[in-house]
């Protein structure tokens, strides 16, 4: 499984505030549009991922299997964006570099050394 962080960030274009941008919007854009064309099989694969996004109950993470993540990653990397913005790059990097473990799982990378205190783990 791959876990994509879901977030909303302030969008700044040419040093001017331009509202916000969300992972959900980027996902829907790169999967919902096919600038160089597509075929029925590819549309069906993309629609399955869009359905997962619509049905997702976790406000922080989208879980995808490896094949779905590969389709999403390819769509994100090949999409011809008309703007360059740090927030967009951050979201795209989160998509392409999706984690192999959900963020709420304790791992060596989110537990401070010599303690049991975890970082980035929601309180129970």
Which pLDDT belongs to residue 89?
A: 96
Which pLDDT belongs to residue 122?
A: 44
Q: Which residue is listed with tokens 């995808």?
A: 64
**Residue 35: pLDDT band by 50, 70, 90 thresholds?**
confident
Residue of 21, 44, 35, 22 lying closest to 75 (CA atoms): 35
Pairwise CA distance, residues 50 & 33, whole Å:
12
Residue-wise pLDDT for 83-117, tens only, equals: 899 999 999 999 999 999 887 754 555 555 554 44
Pairwise CA distance, residues 5 & 83, whole Å:
22
pLDDT at 69 over 50: yes
The domain limits of the chain are: 2-110
């Amino acid at each position: 499984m791959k876990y994509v962080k879901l977030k909303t960030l302030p969008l700044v274009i040419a040093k001017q505030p331009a509202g916000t941008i969300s992972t959900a919007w980027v996902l829907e854009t790169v999967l919902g549009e096919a600038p160089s064309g597509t075929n029925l099989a590819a549309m069906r694969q993309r629609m399955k991922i869009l359905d997962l996004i619509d049905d997702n109950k976790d406000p922080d993470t989208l879980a995808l299997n490896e094949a779905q993540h590969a389709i999403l990653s390819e769509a994100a990397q090949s999409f011809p964006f008309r703007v360059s913005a740090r927030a967009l790059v951050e979201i795209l990097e989160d998509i392409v570099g999706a984690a192999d473990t959900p963020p709420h799982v304790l791992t060596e990378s989110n537990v401070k050394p010599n303690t049991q205190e975890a970082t980035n783990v929601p309180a129970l």
